[in-house]
Every structure is written in structure tokens, then in C-alpha cells.
Chain A
Amino acid sequence: MTFRLRPGKKGLALRLHDLEAAIMDVVWSKQLVSFAVSDVLAVLEKQRDIAYTTVMTTVARLYDKGLLGRERDGKRYLYSPKLTREEFLQSTAREVLEEAVGGHQAMAMLAEKVSEASAGELDELEALIQKRRGELDA
């Protein structure tokens, strides 16, 4: 399974296109074990205007990339995730850590300060945490 890293993107979007990342986010956060295209569409339709065929094509692409498995169920396919979110992140981690640079302090810190240029990225990370908290509460 190979993915190309996408500069300037983060999280799932680092290795997946936006809609691919959105679909995998739905699969993992809703903990879908076996699902049809219509199950994902039902969730995505609440967030954006999107066609069934678009979701179907993207789900098929995720199957081609090896992120989803599938089996026939009558006239349709039932898909299942092949990796957990953590396993996917682990496989992405090496590429992400490649970006680590020198200059670390000789002490153990919870997190080192990042520059003001990254303040926006920190805001996005905080929003991501709040979103997940909301999903878990729901």
C-alpha cells in the first residue's frame, strides 16, 4: 500500500485526497465495520452537497489503494476498513517524522514552542480535538 504525501496538508489529508480523507474519517469515527456506499453518503450529505456516484467512485478508489476491503452482497458491495485509524497513522508516521529537524533541547518537555507562523495550525488542531470530543459525546 503506497501513498504520496501531500505538502501543506495535515491529518488524514496528508496522504489522502480531501474526499478520501472525509470518507475514511466517517468510517473510523462512526466505527463502521461493514458498510455500503449509501451508509457513508447518508453521513456526508449532512455536511456537503455530494452525489452518490462521487462517493461510490471515491470508495472504489480507497478499495484500490488497499484501505478498504469489500465483498459482494447481492447487487451491491459491502466495504470494511482494513486498517484502524491508529494503524494508518502509524504507517504515515515515518514520513511525518522525516520532517523533524534538529535543535531539540536537552530536556524532556511536554511540547516545544512552535513559531507564531504556526498559530493557525494550532487553532486547527484544537478545533480537531473539539470536533472529536463532540463526536464521542454524541
Chain B
Amino acid sequence: MIEATFPLLGTAFVVLIVLPAFALLAKAGLVMLERDEAGGPLHGLNLRYVLLTGSSALPIAWLLSAGLHQAETGKSALACLLDHDTAELCFEPGYFALVLAAAIFASSIGVMRKHRGARASSTDAARALLRRVANIIASDAVLAGLHDRVVVTDDDGFALGTHGLLKPRVFIGTAFAARLSDEMLASALGHEAEHARALDPLRYLILQLALAVNPFGRFLLEPHAARWQAAREAHCDREAVILGAAPLPLADAIVRAARPGAREVVALGARDTAVLKFRIGMLLAFSERAPARCCHQGPSAFPVAFVLLLVALLLPHQTGTAALDVLHTGAEHALTYFWR
């Protein structure tokens, strides 16, 4: 039996069977959570996020850790002995971990390329906008967290967004800002401040990566991911208003940001105006009655996700790697069966 069998077939088995199976389990959990009428669509966002990302990240972390653990300790000796009549130089689990890591890296490249921020500008218009934004931030204590975290760009195709994984910064397009009053800009910055505070660019990137590495399971999770992201944006609107942003200027800014300019690229189809209408409807309601804090969705997802990831990484070292042996022998036997 050639030594490439397990690394190649095992990786294919993970991509074709294991990850879609976990996606199916996650979907079942998400359907149940979304059916829970009690809290409304803005509740349970952290748990939904853990299901969306964990269904890919946790099995991959366990498999990589188990592969490396077997290669390091020689615990795959039995499987190698059965298939190759020798336990010597049995580094197949290590190769499996390498091939799996390479497959994950390859499928992540597209997402990483898309996750580029806009270019900072230093023209007169950009400097004037920076001064304007500095005045707005100085006059609003809630926006103090954005001090030195605002970047201005002359890129006509860019309106307003938050970029940066560990130290997020708010990027503002000069053309877009020129279409907003100070009140609209302050409210919009309040929305982005919540994104920055909750490290949303990092969350969004991890979510997109989790979907990208599961090409055969992502179709099960994409609708839930889109709903999660839409609800997350609505949550940031709500938090901004609770912290003092004016709801109607924020609604105005959102509609203006959704309107493509002459050189701007249309990113989404018309169906997503439904989400836009929901957010605007919610802000119109807030203009009548201020919202109460219903469902804090701050950075608490990160500690939970970190602990789960740590458990998945440490588990093979503590409880054994029998599942990887099953995968190993299964891949070898499958090849033998089809070879005959």
C-alpha cells in the first residue's frame, strides 16, 4: 500500500463526508435556535456564531492535532502495521495533517484576498474630512474609542466600514462623507464603533473562512450565516441608538450607503433590500420609543470559541486518537476495495 493513500484519501474523506456531516449537525442546531420565538432574531447571536464556525473549526483542529500527535508519538504504529506489515517510519498521520492543512490554506486564499481594506489618502479633501471627524468624535463621549482609529480614503467605491482584525479601524470614503450631515456621520460612526468594540472584522473573517474550508457543507450553512450577519448589523444599529446615536440620521446614512455611486460596485442583489427595510423599520420604531438593551452580543464569543478550540486541540493528547485510526484504516481499505 502506498504511503500517500491515507494523506490523500483521508483528506478527501474529511472534506467530502466529515465536514458536511458536522455542517448538517450545526444546521439542525441553528434551525432550532432560529425557531425559538421567545427572544426575537437578535438573540442568541453568539451561540449561532459558535455553531456556524465551530462546525468547521473544531473537527479540523481535532484532526490536525490528532495527526501531529500520532506522528510525534508513533501511536499510529498499529494501523501502519496492519496495512504495511511494518511500523517503521510510519509518518502517514503527519503527512495527512500536512495535506489537510494545505487544503485548508488553499481554500482560504480567496477569502483572505477579499479581506483587504481601502487605501488611506492624504489629499486636502481627506485631511478636511479627518478634521471634521475629529471634531465629531471630540464632541461625543461614546465615540471616544474611535480616537486615532479613523482612516479616510478617496476611493470612490468605498462608503464606510470597519477593517482590521485585532485593532479595528473605521474607514470612511470622502465622497460618501460629503453626502452626510454631521449628525448622520456621528450616528454612522456610532454603528461602526460597535463593530470595532466587538472585533467584528475578525468575527466576519473567521465566519467566511469556516464556510470556505467546507466547500460541500457550506450550502447548508450559508443562509444561516447571511441571517446571522444581517442580525449582527441590526444589533450594531440598536447598540448605537442605545448609546446615544440619533435613529433617523442613522437610517438616512444607511440608505445613502446602500445607494451605489457611479463608480461603485454593486455587491449584492436586490433581495437584500429586505434586510435594509428591516433595519430602517427598526430605526423608525426607535425614533418613537428608545430601545432597551435586550441582548448583549459583545466580545464574549471569543473566550468561548477559544476554550472550545483549545479543548479540540488538547483532546487527542488526553483521550486518544482512535477516530483517526478508523479514518486511516478506512481509507486504506477503501482503496484496496476499489483497486481489486
Contacts and interface: CB of A to CB of B under 8 A. Distances in A.
Interface in A69-113: 84-86, 89-94, 96-113
Contact of A129 (B225, B252, B269, B278): B252
Contact of B275 (A28, A100, A117, A128): A100
A90 B40 contact: yes
A126 to B, nearest CB: 5
Contacts of B282: 86, 89, 93
Given A86-B289, A93-B41, A107-B162, A121 B264 contact: no
Nearest to A119: B259
Given A89-B285, A93-B41, A114-B268, A106 B204 contact: yes
B293 interface: no
A122 interface: yes
B222 A111 contact: no
B257 interface: yes
B217 interface: no
Contact of A103 (B111, B207, B268): B268
A29 interface: yes
B285 A85 contact: yes
Interface string B33-62: 010010011100000000000000000000
Contact of A107 (B42, B161, B278): B161
A129 B251 contact: yes
B260 interface: yes
B270 A115 contact: yes
User: Chain A binding site: helix, strand, loop or mixed by DSSP?
Assistant: helix
Contacts of A49: none
B44 to A, nearest CB: 12
Interface in B246-276: 248, 251-255, 257-260, 264-276
B163 interface: yes
Given A107-B162, A132-B287, A99 B269 contact: no
Contacts of A85: 284-285, 288-289
A113 B267 contact: yes
B37 to A, nearest CB: 8
Contact of A104 (B160, B226, B284): B226
Contacts of A93: 40-42, 234, 278, 282
A84 B281 CA distance: 12
Contacts of A14: 277
B222 A102 contact: yes
A11 B281 contact: yes
A85 B209 CA distance: 37
B200 interface: yes
Contacts of A108: 161-163, 168, 192, 195, 200-201, 204, 233, 236
A133 interface: yes
Interface of B: 34, 37, 40-42, 111, 114-115, 117, 159-163, 168, 188, 191-192, 195, 200-201, 204-205, 207-209, 222-223, 225-227, 229-231, 233-234, 236, 248, 251-255, 257-260, 264-282, 284-289, 291
